[in-house]
A and B are shown apart, each in its own frame.
Chain A
Amino acid sequence: MDPRQPSEANARAAAMPPELMQDPLLELEAVTAAYGRIQVLNGVDLAVPAGTVLALLGPNGGGKSTTLKVASCQMEPTSGRVKIAGRTVNGATSEQLAELGVCTIPEGRGIFANLTVRENLELATYTGKSLSAIEDRTYSFFPRLAERRHQLAGTMSGGEQQMLSMSRALSSDPVLLMLDELSMGLAPLVVEELYAVVSQVAGEGVSILVVEQFARTVLGVADWAAIMLGGRITRVGPPGELEQELTAAYLGDR
């Protein structure tokens, strides 16, 4: 056994604020993951306490999206543990977790472009909810989608498509929500609108892990922020404290 291991583990534990370790709904312990021979995550430790929003930030290629994939069991870690509500869930499928209330909104569009808005929402009725209940919830969050209910989803703007993607996820009544690059390719005003909904959902007590490359908007919504570089969490703390370090991380000054 590598004699350095215990001290490295201690160092990781020390970097995590104790508040985060109280009753975490999602926890990653020394997670490593690889695509073939290329190791992407090099021992990720992260915790999302129940009812909080944690923003995972950092430049491209740092392993943020892979962390999200591992956390939602879409990808098997090569080592380490993924814990949800205190239970190690390595080996569970993402479908199982989705059924219980772990919801992931993937990067890009998670919608059927050739179906109408209403038909897309109809697909979300597999969770057992009625279409009218799903529509009510969706249109209360995004009134704009009500106007477009009979329009083909693929012909809407990127922001509206992302709204639809979010509303399909929210209709599953999630307890733990994971968002991947919500702002990707969208205008700042639309991003603000989407994050206002994220904030509203967080207010309902849903625990949220947000992966973002552009931090400005998400920092206003998050309770905690973590910076990820080179497959490791290099810093975790309140968003206000991390803003400076974040600039340095993007500029490579680390």
Chain B
Amino acid sequence: MNENPQRVEEFREAISEMKISHPPPAVERAYLWLGVIGVAVGFVLIVMGYNGAATTEFTPEAVSYLISGGVVGLALIVVGVGLFLRYSMARFQRFWLLRDIFEQRAQTDRIIQVLERIEKLDIEIE
């Protein structure tokens, strides 16, 4: 029946060796939210660190405020933005590409419709 049994055999082999990862959408969403929360907590820590450092008269205390509030807060913001971009941009870009393709098709359809109308008018005039 099969004219190309070797191709089918290769296919079967490839399917059996295929790596199937199971990225549950819930986990992706969780990472995205983790990123958002990280950014928010980072900002809060920075504000708290700034407030602590600004309201103390002792330099060593101010430094510890700046380290725990400023540096940790900044690190949380960087990691959070990274997570957010990783788990949101790919999705967004896929949607954007689809939208682009859809709009281009709609545009071409409109041009064709207009051309057809012009053609009809031409024929009527002749």
Q: Please report A residues at the B interface, Cβ cutoff 8 Å.
A: 25, 50-52, 84-87, 89-92, 96, 100-101, 109, 112-114, 152, 154-155, 173, 175-176, 203-205
Contact A87 B5 (CB under 8 A): no
Minimum CB–CB distance from B29 to chain A (whole Å) comes to: 15
Q: Please report B residues at the A interface, Cβ cutoff 8 Å.
A: 1-5, 7-8, 11-12, 14-16, 18, 20-22, 101, 104-105, 107-109, 111-112
| Chain B: CB-nearest residue to A223 | B1
Q: How many inter-chain contacts with C-beta < 8 Å in the A-B complex?
A: 70
Minimum CB–CB distance from A69 to chain B (whole Å) comes to: 16
Q: Which one of B5, B7, B21 contacts A91 once the chains associate, using CB atoms below 8 Å?
A: B21
Given A85-B12, A96-B20, A205-B1: 12 more A-B contacts, CB < 8 Å: A85-B11, A87-B15, A89-B15, A91-B20, A92-B20, A100-B14, A100-B15, A109-B105, A152-B108, A155-B112, A173-B7, A203-B3
| List of B residues within 8 angstroms of A112 by Cβ | 101, 104
Minimum CB–CB distance from A83 to chain B (whole Å) comes to: 10
Task: State the 7 A-B residue pairs at the shortest beta-carbon distance, nearest first.
Answer: A205-B2, A154-B108, A51-B1, A113-B108, A175-B11, A85-B15, A85-B12
Contact A114 B11 (CB under 8 A): no
A203 to B12, alpha carbons, bound, how many Å? 19
Given A91-B22, A112-B101, A113-B104, A85 and B16 contact (CB-CB distance below 8 Å): yes
| Chain A: CB-nearest residue to B15 | A85
Q: Which one of A89, A96, A154 contacts B109 once the chains associate, using CB atoms below 8 Å?
A: A154
Contact B5 A205 (CB under 8 A): yes
A100 to B20, alpha carbons, bound, how many Å? 13
Contact B11 A204 (CB under 8 A): no
Given A109-B105, A113-B104, A101 and B14 contact (CB-CB distance below 8 Å): yes
Minimum CB–CB distance from A161 to chain B (whole Å) comes to: 11
| List of B residues within 8 angstroms of A113 by Cβ | 104-105, 108-109
A151 to B18, alpha carbons, bound, how many Å? 39
